[in-house]
Amino acid sequence: MKILIPLLFVLVACKAPSVEKINPIDKYMNIQTLSAMEARDEYLQLLSQVRSQKGLPDLIVSEFMNEVAQGHTDKMASGELPFSHDGSSERCHTISSELLSGKVCTEIIAKGLNSAEKVLQYWAASKTHLGHLLNPYSTHTGVGVAKDSNGSLYWTQIFIEVN
């Protein structure tokens, strides 16, 4: 009994450490980024299903193209760039140089559509955007998704044909 009382005192007197003290990397994790990445992955799965239904092969998801698309999307969502295709030629040139090839490079953008399903429906409703989604010559893609300060999602998808 004498041993139990001091142990009980230690347990009661100790304060549980905060989560930040247990795992300091938590403060660096951006939940919005994780949500955007999940939205991108869901979107790519939906697009794959649509292309498969049309008898088209899956697009190869290029991490480099994801980074390029994400950079543009981040700049639009932060307000650093307007919602536009400004700089798309440079992005396509950068991608073509990195992949050492590339015939046709196209880009589509959207904002305010806060789910993968909504952005796919939006793009599929446009004849021009649908043409990019279902282009049988496109082989690679990259997608960027970012939230603005109001929580609205911005999207960029880049397509390229690699020889």
pTM tops 0.85? no
Give the DSSP letter of residue 114. -
Instruction: Tell me the per-residue pLDDT of 102-125, one tens digit each, with 9 for 90 and over.
Output: 788 999 999 999 899 999 999 999
What is the four-CA torsion angle of 32, 33, 37, 39, rounded to 10 degrees?
A: 20
The SS3 call for residue 146 is strand
**Amino acid occupying residue 3:** I
Residue 37 has a pLDDT of 86
Q: How confident is the model at residue 52 (pLDDT cuts 50, 70, 90)?
A: very high
